[in-house]
Amino acid sequence: MGIPDYIEPGKLKALALYIHIPFCVEKCDYCAFYSVAHSKAEWQEKWLQAVRLEFAKCRKLIGDIRISTIFIGGGTPSLLKLPLLEGLFKEIELFNLDGLEEYSIEANPESLSPDFLDLLKIYSIDRLSLGVQSLQPEELAMLGRRASLEHTLEALELLSAKWQGRLNLDFISGIPGQSQASLLDSLEKAIQMAKLDHISLYSLSAEEKTALQRRFQNEGLKHHPNHDSLWIKAYCFLQSQGFLNYEMANFAKPGKECRHNLAYWNLKPYWGFGPSAYSTLPGKKGVLRLSYASDLHLFNGRADKALAIESLTPKEFLTDTMIMGWRLKQGVSKGVFLRRFGSSLEDLLPGFYDFLVNKRILLQSKSHYRLSLKSRLFLDDVLLELMGALDELPSGLLRVNWPE
């Protein structure tokens, strides 16, 4: 399957780039991202080779369309041998990076090194996201994290001494055994120790096929009983520290929101590379969702064979727009909605819109379809209602113009 037949590059004004580095020393129990543990050096080299080829195909197609943001995630990007990582960075520089707004990479505490940070600086990578998860040893053990508390503290010290760029730390709430005090303690310590401008606070969820899910199912591990109140407490604490919740699981100092992730939530075109990576791109006949299979060796051998392409129906794309957009505090721009779907939400789905208004789900806003915090917390219920309303809409009525 050749990519060029399907994608309509002419519609692209800018593109967000994601690169998935699918290697970890070991899998953490809760992680559902695709990665390969105990990989051989040769696999990593082949991976870079495959990414290089896919990049080339992409560049041929998009020409000098501007890259707006880059995010290198994983897996554990910091695990890659530095020459390989440098090879990747060089390859990325072949894209048009004029006016690049943000360049992020993920790292884990145990593989963070001064050399790694130096390399980031050379290649102008200006945002680092570190998977901390918790600063309590028993919680780290519960998650099956490889990094000990010592590793993590060392990493934070190293960052505060050497890292000049923007910094995000990942935390998890709802870890079995976690208390309100321990969660707030982790957050507070981290804020004191490092110059961070962004915090991701994820609820622990037992994803399919993870070790954690097996532990819940077979070993009688119990879900955190007071998960909700724990999360709310952390939410209030972070707000009070100046980290404002701008997306369900993300908090940032004003102006320091992750621009790359905002491209996802606003559903702007993004192209993901690497096994398990997804893309949403304009196609010749509508919006396309591309995904590489979660299979390193298939990707390394014939990446084009690993690629699945799905064409989204207008209803699916509208649903996706709201699934993502309503996670944002700001909500979905009315202007964007109108340009994207050729009609306002109230004209398109009047019954649903009345439901939103009558149930006080929507907040007053001239510019955005914006949900109250409570409604965002119960977003799935709102989305189910939306999908029910969409079912009633004659399918010919909806047209998509995207990117708008």
Partner 1 sequence: MKQENIRNFCIIAHIDHGKSTLADRFIQKSGIISDRDFRDQILDSMDIERERGITIKSQAITMPYTSRSGENYALNLVDTPGHVDFSYEVSRTIYACEGALLLIDATQGVEAQTLSNFFMALEHNLEIIPVINKIDLPSSDIEGVKHQIDHELGLDPDSALMVSAKAGTGLEELLEAIVERVPAPKGDREAPLKALIFDSHYDSYRGVVVHIRVFEGILKPEDIIKLWSTKAQYKVEETGIFKISLAKTKELCAGEVGYFVAGIKTISDTKIGDTITQMKNPCTQPLEGFREVKPVVFSSIYPVDANDYDELASSMEKLKLNDASLVYEKDSSAALGFGFRCGFLGLLHLEIVQERIEREFGLSIVFTAPSVRYYIYKKDGQMIKIDNPLEFPDVTYIEKTEEPYIRATIMTPTEYLGNIINLCLEKRGEQTSMNYLDEKRVEIIYEMPLSEVVFDFYDRLKSLSRGYASFDYSLIDYKETDLVKLDILINSKPVDALSMLVFKDNAYARARSICKKLSNEIPRHQFKVPIQGAVGNSIIARETIPALRKDVTAKCYGGDITRKRKLLEKQKAGKKRMKMVGNVELPQSAFLSVLKTDTE
Binding site for partner 1 (CB under 8 A): 18, 173-174, 200-205, 225, 227-228, 231, 248-249, 261, 263-264, 270, 272, 276-280, 289, 291, 310, 316, 319-320, 323-324, 327, 376-381, 383-384, 387-388
CB within 8 Å of 128: residues ≥ 6 apart: 104, 105, 106, 107, 120, 159, 163, 165, 166, 167, 168
| Pick 81 or 360: Cβ nearer partner 1 | 360
| Pick 163 or 251: Cβ nearer partner 1 | 251
Closest distance of CB 121 from partner 1, Å: 26
Closest distance of CB 68 from partner 1, Å: 14
Closest distance of CB 73 from partner 1, Å: 8
| Pick 123 or 202: Cβ nearer partner 1 | 202
Give, for 2, the enclosing helix (H) or strand (E): none
Closest distance of CB 370 from partner 1, Å: 16
Q: What are phi and psi of 91, to 5 degrees?
A: -65, -40
- 165: closest CA among 193, 124, 133? 124
| Pick 136 or 261: Cβ nearer partner 1 | 261
| Pick 65 or 172: Cβ nearer partner 1 | 172
Closest distance of CB 60 from partner 1, Å: 23
| Pick 39 or 266: Cβ nearer partner 1 | 266
Closest distance of CB 179 from partner 1, Å: 17
Q: What are phi and psi of 291, to 5 degrees?
A: -145, 135
Beta strands in 193-298 (DSSP E): 198-203, 244-247, 250-252, 270-273, 278-283, 286-292
| Pick 89 or 270: Cβ nearer partner 1 | 270
Mapped onto helix, strand or coil, the DSSP state of residue 363 is strand
Q: What is the 3-state secondary structure (H, E, C) of 231-244?
A: HHHHHHHHHHCCCE
Q: What are phi and psi of 169, to 5 degrees?
A: -120, 135
Closest distance of CB 262 from partner 1, Å: 11
| Pick 117 or 268: Cβ nearer partner 1 | 268
Beta bridge partners of 83: none
Closest distance of CB 22 from partner 1, Å: 12
User: How far apart, in Å, are the Cα atoms of 164 and each of 190, 291, 380?
Assistant: 17, 34, 39
Q: Which two three-digit tokens encode residue 277?
A: 């990576």
Closest distance of CB 83 from partner 1, Å: 28
Gyration radius from the chain CA atoms:
21
| Pick 116 or 245: Cβ nearer partner 1 | 245
- Indicate the burial class of 45 (C-beta count within 10 angstroms; 0-12, 13-18, 19 or more): middle
| Pick 270 or 341: Cβ nearer partner 1 | 270
Residue 8 near residue 22 (C-beta atoms within 8 A) = no
Helix, strand, coil percent values for the chain (each to nearest 5): 45, 20, 35
| Pick 160 or 291: Cβ nearer partner 1 | 291
Closest distance of CB 400 from partner 1, Å: 15
Report the DSSP pairing between strands 250-252 and 198-203. antiparallel
Closest distance of CB 289 from partner 1, Å: 6
Residue 106 near residue 73 (C-beta atoms within 8 A) = yes
User: How far apart, in Å, are the Cα atoms of 197 and each of 71, 247, 258, 303?
Assistant: 17, 15, 10, 36
Residue-by-residue DSSP string for 89-146: HHHHTTSB-TT--EEEEEE-GGG--HHHHHHHHHTT--EEEEEEE-S-HHHHHHHT-S
